[in-house]
């Protein structure tokens, strides 16, 4: 089966073609980061308009890259939610019109299931079941992934998502959006011992997260420095390092707890923050000590992309699932409601 995947939930227009026999045939992306940067975050209306501008050129690009003709496409998948309603509508309308024109089935994919399954596109995919840490701009969740489509929520952020905290702290440090990669780069030369940031909610049982207090703590450290945005370069580097270290440490403590609690021996990390090098290193060490394996996708498949939507949609289409004609986008959609994918 050859599935066209369309991702438009937020600020990335991603299209890809996944072949259930041959793997990923084409993958193309347009990031709106530069456009939203001027506003310090994603402006929903601008996002929708920009998706409309880029969808057809990216469609032509993946068709050319894959050397597919339109009649070769046997299914269409798109992000049905969660996300920004206007942005979701652009992908949904294109996907459903194309599927109707081509006479093929269409499936709306849950964005976070796309992230969670992205490591399946790599050479050594994880076997089921596994613990999944989903860390993106909008979500921080620990999931017990029992089998395809069966996801049990173990814990989640009660306020800001990890990626959101990276983005907000980046703005305070005078860095551009999205902030995660910028903080990671600034932290490279930083001293992790100069500032000691809290590890929120690690001193009590449970698997929930909270990053809002850490963000406020960081804001205070930045504001007490002389000069704007945390002062001189070395101080800004030290703050970035201390903050990154605190997030990585907190996520690692909770992942270890989740592995022990479930007895599972595989940990999958997915979503934009899972591209973070320090997080991967720390989790690798922890997983090895626990006798568990760590799985993640290449960085380009950690952040938003069309490939993960094409892959996840393909699994559901192969199982015989498809959307009814009146399927509407679901801006809010709990991952636990997606339903099992029959083998
Ligand atoms: O999954 P994603 O592309 O979009 C959402 O579904 O939200 O995640 C984007 C988030 C942003 O907050 C970005 O700052 C963060 O992922 N991110 C990173 C890194 N790369 C992206 N955070 C930390 N380190 C990175 N290397
Ligand atoms: Zn995402």
Q: What pLDDT, in 10s, does the model give residues 21-79?
A: 999 999 999 999 999 988 888 999 999 999 999 999 999 999 999 999 999 999 999 99
* Six-digit token string for 94: 């294109």
Task: Give the single-character DSSP code of 273.
Answer: G
Tens-place pLDDT, residues 267-288:
999 999 999 999 999 999 999 9
- In the numeric block, the tokens 């469609």 are attached to 59
* Six-digit token string for 341: 């994918």
Mean pLDDT of 10-25: 98
Ligand 2 centroid to residue 165 C-alpha, Å: 15
pLDDT score at 301? 98
pLDDT score at 325? 87
Ligand 1 centroid to residue 301 C-alpha, Å: 11
Q: What burial letters (b/e) apply to 179-208, b meaning 16+ CB within 10 Å? A: bbbbbbebbeebebeebebebbbeeeeebb
Q: Is the CB of 7 under 6 A from ligand 1?
A: no
Ligand 2 centroid to residue 102 C-alpha, Å: 28
Ligand 1 centroid to residue 181 C-alpha, Å: 8
Residues 6+ apart with CB under 8 A from 223: none
Q: Is the CB of 84 under 6 A from ligand 1?
A: no
pTM over 0.95: yes
Tens-place pLDDT, residues 247-263:
999 999 999 999 999 99
Query: Which phi and psi angles does 78 have, rounded to 5°?
Result: -145, 160
Q: Is the CB of 32 under 6 A from ligand 1?
A: no
Reported as a pLDDT band with limits 50, 70 and 90, residue 343 is: confident
Task: Look at residue 172 and tell me whether its pLDDT is greater than 90.
Answer: yes
Q: Is the CB of 11 under 6 A from ligand 1?
A: no
CA atoms of 137 and 247, how far apart (whole Å): 14
Reported as a pLDDT band with limits 50, 70 and 90, residue 88 is: very high
Is 249 in a helix, a strand, or coil?
helix
Task: Look at residue 177 and tell me whether its pLDDT is greater than 90.
Answer: no
Q: Is the CB of 138 under 6 A from ligand 1?
A: yes
Mean pLDDT of 154-166: 97
Reported as a pLDDT band with limits 50, 70 and 90, residue 221 is: very high
**67 C-beta neighbours (distance < 10 Å), count:** 10
Tens-place pLDDT, residues 297-340:
999 999 999 999 999 999 999 999 999 989 999 999 999 999 99
Reported as a pLDDT band with limits 50, 70 and 90, residue 146 is: very high
Q: Is the CB of 82 under 6 A from ligand 1?
A: no
Ligand 1, atom 13: nearest CA belongs to which residue? 180
Mean pLDDT of 188-200: 96
CA atoms of 210 and 18, how far apart (whole Å): 36
* Six-digit token string for 223: 């504001």
Reported as a pLDDT band with limits 50, 70 and 90, residue 173 is: very high
């Amino acid at each position: 089966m050859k599935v066209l995947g369309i991702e438009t939930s937020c600020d990335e227009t991603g299209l890809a073609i996944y072949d259930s026999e041959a793997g990923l045939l084409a993958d193309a992306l347009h990031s709106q980061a530069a456009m939203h940067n001027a506003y310090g975050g994603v402006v929903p209306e601008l996002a929708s308009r920009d998706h409309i501008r880029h969808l057809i050129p990216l469609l032509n690009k993946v068709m050319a890259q894959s050397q597919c003709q339109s009649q070769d496409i046997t299914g269409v998948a798109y992000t049905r939610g969660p996300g920004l309603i206007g942005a979701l509508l652009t992908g949904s309308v294109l996907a459903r019109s194309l599927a109707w024109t081509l006479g093929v089935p269409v499936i709306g994919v849950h964005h976070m299931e796309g992230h969670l399954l992205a490591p399946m596109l790599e050479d050594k995919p994880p076997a089921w079941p596994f613990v999944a840490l989903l860390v993106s701009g909008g979500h921080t969740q620990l999931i017990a992934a029992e089998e395809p489509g069966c996801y049990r929520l173990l814990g989640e952020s009660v306020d800001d998502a990890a990626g959101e905290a990276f983005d907000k702290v980046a703005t305070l440090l005078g860095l551009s959006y999205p902030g995660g990669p910028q903080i990671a780069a600034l932290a490279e030369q930083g001293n992790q011992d100069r500032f000691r940031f809290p590890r929120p909610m690690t001193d009590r049982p449970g698997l929930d997260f909270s990053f809002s207090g850490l963000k406020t703590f960081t804001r205070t450290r930045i504001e007490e420095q002389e000069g704007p945005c945390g002062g001189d370069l070395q101080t800004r580097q030290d703050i970035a390092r201390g903050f990154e270290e605190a997030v990585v440490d907190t996520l690692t403590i909770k992942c270890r707890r989740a592995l022990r609690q479930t007895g599972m021996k595989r940990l999958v990390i997915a979503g934009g923050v899972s591209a973070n090098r320090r997080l991967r290193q720390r989790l690798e060490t922890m997983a090895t000590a626990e006798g568990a394996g760590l799985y993640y996708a290449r960085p380009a498949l950690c952040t938003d992309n069309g490939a993960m939507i094409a892959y996840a949609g393909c699994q559901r289409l192969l199982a015989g699932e498809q959307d009814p004609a009146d399927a509407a986008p679901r801006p809010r959609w709990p991952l636990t409601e997606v339903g099992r994918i029959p083998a």
